[in-house]
A = this chain, B = another copy of it.
Amino acid sequence: MTNIKDLAKMAGVSVTTVSRVLNNHPYVSEEKKNAVLEAIKVSNYFKNINAVHLSKGKTQLMGVVLPFSDHPYFAQLLKGIAKQALENNYKLVLIQTDYMERRELEALQMLKQKQIDSLIICSRTCDLSTIEEHLQFGSIVLCENIKGKKASSTFVNQYKVFFDALEYLYHKGHKKIGYCIGRKSGANSHNRELAYREFHEKYSLPYHPEYIIDKCLYFEDGDKVINQINKLDKPPSALLVTSDQVAAGIVICCQKQHISIPDEMAIIGFDNEPIAKMMNITTIEIPLLEMGKNLFLQAVNGDITNKELSVKLIERGTV
């Protein structure tokens, strides 16, 4: 590949002159400028952007850590981030983790090595302390309540959202309420479980660990949920389902098995995806596009802020 020295030689000028031409510096004679431009044309020279990044210390690349890119929740979040990235002339580097810690560590390593300018972690497995150790290398933004820590975040108060939804079902007459989540570990799931326990204490209801069904991520998991519930002696009469996709799968499965909704089984979904509207599913709207936008801006901005977004219960036909 032609380098700046080759160009200088071809044009019969100094390396400094070539550099000035490449960077549109004003003090270059027309004659020398043309000689350099001709050399660029002949040699098909183009800047290696890595050299630019090296000298500027910036890449205009932002890393996005997410467990699955094909899950509607993360796809929507990514869409919100991508829209802002585009408007701000950033490209996104996708780090799909399948919740494997070493892949998260690779993302942090990219930040350390300046391959990316900043990092958005949509969901994590690694310790918060590991993340904090990397804050010296660039901004890192998270999707969970980490107020008081040194990183930024945009989040929904999962404890409050869960507690409110449980109370809503309780006031609709439900005493046996179960819930479906993606995974049992993770900060959000911890807060949800806490809300679930404290709700049962507040209303002196018996606590059924078998009412908590995990590994529910996709539409097709709806079948699994109903099959699991069918095996219980005392099945729940209502379900909080942390994904509209799964909620829709449950609704379809109930239809097939002639389980009447909401009489025999009430369902609240999460996110207010289009499928929830179309299938008339009561759901909790999470502003995922706004969340993505905010995460991006926090990552670029670099100030440490923690922003809580509010949610909205959309009442439809499944409760």
Residues of A whose CB lies within 8 Å of any CB of B are 1, 46-51, 53-54, 57, 59, 61, 64, 68-70, 72, 75-76, 78-79, 82, 86, 91-96, 103, 110, 112-115, 218-220, 222-223, 249, 252-253, 274-275, 277-279
From B48, B59, B94, B275, contact of A219 by CB (8 A):
B275
A216 to chain B, nearest CB (A): 13
Select from chain B the residue with minimum beta-carbon distance to A70.
B75
Contacts of A48 in B (CB 8 A): 54, 57, 113-114
Task: List 14 contacting pairs A-B, 8 Å CB cutoff, sorted by A.
Answer: A1-B57, A49-B110, A50-B54, A54-B54, A70-B78, A70-B79, A79-B96, A91-B110, A92-B96, A218-B274, A220-B274, A220-B275, A220-B277, A222-B278
Contacts of A70 in B (CB 8 A): 72, 75-76, 78-79
Select from chain B the residue with minimum beta-carbon distance to A100.
B86
Q: Are A93 and B93 in contact (CB under 8 A)?
A: yes
Select from chain B the residue with minimum beta-carbon distance to A89.
B106
Contacts of A79 in B (CB 8 A): 68-70, 96
A180 to chain B, nearest CB (A): 16
Cα A223 to Cα B279 in complex, Å, equals 11
Cα A1 to Cα B113 in complex, Å, equals 12
Q: Are A46 and B113 in contact (CB under 8 A)?
A: yes
Q: Are B92 and A94 in contact (CB under 8 A)?
A: yes
Contacts of A278 in B (CB 8 A): 219-220, 222-223, 249, 252-253
Q: Are B91 and A91 in contact (CB under 8 A)?
A: no
Cα A46 to Cα B51 in complex, Å, equals 17
Q: Are A59 and B69 in contact (CB under 8 A)?
A: no
Cα A51 to Cα B59 in complex, Å, equals 12
A25 to chain B, nearest CB (A): 20
Select from chain B the residue with minimum beta-carbon distance to A95.
B91
Contacts of A72 in B (CB 8 A): 70
Cα A283 to Cα B318 in complex, Å, equals 29
Contact A96 to B69, CB < 8 A, known contacts A46-B113, A112-B46:
no
Contacts of A53 in B (CB 8 A): 50
Q: Are A50 and B219 in contact (CB under 8 A)?
A: no
Contacts of A103 in B (CB 8 A): 86
Contact A50 to B115, CB < 8 A, known contacts A93-B91, A103-B86, A275-B219:
yes
Cα A54 to Cα B1 in complex, Å, equals 12
Cα A95 to Cα B219 in complex, Å, equals 27
Contacts of A114 in B (CB 8 A): 48-50
Select from chain B the residue with minimum beta-carbon distance to A77.
B70
A235 to chain B, nearest CB (A): 21
Contacts of A59 in B (CB 8 A): 50, 115
Cα A252 to Cα B112 in complex, Å, equals 49
Cα A220 to Cα B276 in complex, Å, equals 10
Closest 4 CB pairs of A and B: A49-B113, A70-B75, A220-B274, A50-B54
Select from chain B the residue with minimum beta-carbon distance to A49.
B113
